[in-house]
Amino acid sequence: MHWLARQLLRLVAVLFCVTLVTFLIVNILPGDVTIVILGTLATPQDIAGLRADLGLDRPMLVRYFDWLGSALSGDLGRSYRNGEPVAQAIADRLPVSLELMVLAQLVALGIAIPVALLSVRKPGGWFDRISASAAFGFLAMPNFMLGIVLIYLFSVSFDLLPATGFSPLSDGLWDNLESMILPALTLGLIEWTVLMRVLRSDLLTTLKEDFILLARAKGLPPWRVLLQHALRPSSFTLITVLGLNIGGLIGGAVIVEQIFALPGVGRLLLGGIFNRDLILVQGTVSFIAAGFVIINFLVDMLYAVLDPRVRHVRFRN
């Protein structure tokens, strides 16, 4: 368990750095929330008064540690603009973003794993070549463009799915899914490409191993050799990339939530930036960063589940 303690300590250090850097960056953003609130005709006295009210006249580091202190107790401050607690604003929108990302990952894995398995059945064969071309095609496509293409196809041409808007789960499962399919596809159709290529290349390496020969010598049919013997030892890079891609996925979600008008964390963040609502931006970015770091921490734990050798090394002491 020594290993776990070290990892947790590192997690804390990383989160501290991330929040500090976010604070610094957010504070050098040009523009001022007071102008957004008071309008361009406000007198300098009014602005100075409001700045003092909001506590913006204090030195930056003082404000950071003040913020950090409250953040540790779960209070991310209140929006400068409308006084809404930032934590509450995030909590309200988080389910939408989480659902979007989980669905997008499911789409990506649901395409990547079967395609990779089928590609390595015959490397260089027609399926392998077509899937490689398709992967590079999708990879080269920006997600805002893919989103628009999907809207054009599924909403405008065939009128199958709504182009924008969101129905919460309380409206029924299908209504909810209907509004999520296109956004999830937009993210997933780009995400699967990297996962597929990574898994394919690891599978090819694994398939050269002696234990694959031995599995074949046992008389196992090719698909069982692939699924039972090759897939799991080949999935480590896939898992790593899956964790790292969460970052890209969050970035993509910001855009996709905008395109499909989904009330998620990404839209909240974008609104905060437009309004120079620094405390909201700070809270949201820190929250996203923490999520990213924690997910990658969990990914690291997952290795131990997948590979007994990792378990062996980590928990020997």
Query: Footprint of other proteins on this chain (CB under 8 A)?
Result: 122-124, 207, 209-211, 213-221, 229, 232-233, 306-309, 312
Burial class (CB in 10 A: 0-12, 13-18, 19+), 89: buried
Amino acid at position 174, single letter: W
Residue 238 Cβ vs other proteins, minimum distance, rounded to whole Å: 14
Task: Compare residues 56 and 225 and give the one whose CB is closer to other proteins.
Answer: 225
- CA 272/CA 262 separation, integer angstroms: 16
- What CA–CA distance (Å, rounded) separates 273 from 31? 10
The DSSP code sequence of 105-146 is HHHHHHHHHHHHHHHHHSTTSHHHHHHHHHHHHHHTS-HHHH
210: part of which helix (H) or strand (E)?
helix 210-217
Q: Distance (Å, rounded) from C-alpha 93 to C-alpha 276?
A: 19
Nearer to other proteins, 177 or 306 (CB): 306
Rounded to the nearest whole angstrom, what is the least distance from the CB of residue 208 to other proteins in the complex?
A: 8
Q: Which C-beta is closer to other proteins: that of 178 or that of 209?
A: 209
Between 145 and 214, name the residue whose CB sits nearer to other proteins. Answer: 214
Closer of 32 and 300 to other proteins (Cβ): 300
CB proximity list for 201: less than 8 A, separation 6 or greater: 237
CB of 6 to other proteins, least distance (A): 23
Closest separation between CB of residue 316 and other proteins, Å?
Answer: 11
Q: Minimum distance from CB of 108 to other proteins (Å)? A: 23
